Chains A and B, each alone.
Chain A
């Protein structure tokens, strides 16, 4: 018991000061993927839809529909197509409207970025 007390005094205050200050650990947390539309062909999109174990990815014609709410940040999509998918490092993803979590990513072969 005294050891714990002394250790605590030496370490000082460890409480995060979020939301007043950013927390350093935010960047190393697992996060949903970010997509590169310039690499997303229709074929790659279909394989991503197959691979996602959480039904977060569906294809609607020329658009890849990504449901950030259903994403478990497992990383399967990134490991299978590392050029098309990278990690987004976003952590504050709360939404007051469920549809705000559903993102439409344009596929390659469409005009635009």
Chain B
């Protein structure tokens, strides 16, 4: 996980062991800071709004993200996590940077949806193609749109309450994971 919290000096100093220990410490701090209460600011950089509909369902009774301690907030100043959808249109670039910079550290960025991850649209005159061209992303959630369950799993991975598992998946039929 690339940290964009304000503790960057820890990561730049020494060897692999200290880096690993530092990453562990950061992970624990993220978990302790955000694990019980997280404020999420959604940012639509030009999506078709299907991702937004699934995100909105998170607040509905069936998935109810409030029971996990997550809340939506419109003000980036109050937000801990920026949930970005859409292929990052160039026209939106200034607004996206301003939103990101308005969030106080430590903060997390989660890109969700195939558009935000680089699929569906190639970079061209109108879009950057993927969110990480402009913002440093911590967690990627694929899907088109990602189901609310997928979003919940992604958010829990972001705050370190669940372990990420896609790295051990092989997408080969017949194998175990």
Contacts and interface: CB of A to CB of B under 8 A. Distances in A.
A–B contact (CB under 8 angstroms): yes
Interface of A: 14-16, 18-19, 23, 25-26, 29-30, 32-37, 53-56, 66-74, 86, 88, 90-98, 100-101, 103, 105, 113
B98 interface: no
Contacts of A101: 117, 140, 142, 166
Which of B147, B156, B158 is the most central at the interface, judged by chain A CB atoms within 10 Å of its CB? B147
16 contacts: A23-B149, A35-B173, A54-B144, A55-B122, A56-B114, A68-B142, A69-B114, A70-B114, A71-B119, A92-B149, A93-B141, A93-B142, A93-B153, A93-B169, A94-B164, A101-B117
B76 to A, nearest CB: 22
Contacts, number: 147
Nearest to A40: B172
Interface string B155-174: 01110011011110111111
A25 B63 CA distance: 11
A36 B156 CA distance: 31
Q: Is the interface of B mostly helix, strand, loop or mixed?
A: loop
Interface of B: 1, 61-64, 67, 114, 117-120, 122, 132, 137-144, 147, 149-150, 152-154, 156-158, 161-162, 164-167, 169-175
